[in-house]
Amino acid sequence: NLDALKEAGAELVFFSPLADEALPEAEGLYLGGGYPELYLEQLSGNTALLDEIRRAIQNGMPTLAECGGFLYLQQCLESDQGQQYPLVGALPGRGFSTPRLQRFGYLHLMGDRDSMLFRAGEPVPAHEFHYWDCTANGADLQARKPSGKDWRCGYVNDRLYAAFPHLHFGGKIPLAQRFVTAALDYQKERQR
């Protein structure tokens, strides 16, 4: 995905939610997978960055948050022992541990309306692999497995993709270009 973003014209700037207290100068935010449950104390303790990310999303910064990044945007994440750690709070849910894989496997996502990455009715291939779940998974997208099992998930709008499913930017659907276009539009707005 990072290579596809670069090919679409993005200049990648990296930061650490564990170590950095501020976002670098950027026009988009990509929070990929990972294991936030392993770093709850450090992530929750970095309140300056949590606040900055929440404000950036509220102010319209194009944001792509999948799986662990999706959990990071929740109100809080619960440890295995049930202790709650406040996180970004840009989304309404609370993440929690489960005893087995949740909604594991390949699927297609489809939006009812156009958004930053999705076009209404366009099936986008994705994959889920997570033991954690949350109380508010969103309902902006239709997820469907090859078996026919389907469910609603995710939060999407003109500047946001936040959901458990991982997207692949290397396919025929120009997801990377759509994200870069949203970032360029955001940059223009900020320059006005």
Question: Which residues form the catalytic set?
Answer: 67
Which residue is it, tokens 């999948």? 66
Give the dihedral sign, CA 20/11/153/61: positive
Task: Please give the Cα distance from 124 to 168 (Å, whole number).
Answer: 9
Task: Please give the Cα distance from 49 to 151 (Å, whole number).
Answer: 33
Which residue is it, tokens 């699927």? 107
Question: From the CB of residue 177, how many other CB atoms can be counted at a distance below 10 Å?
Answer: 16
Q: How many helices (H) and strands (E) does the chain have?
A: 5, 11
**Host H or E run for residue 68:** helix 68-72
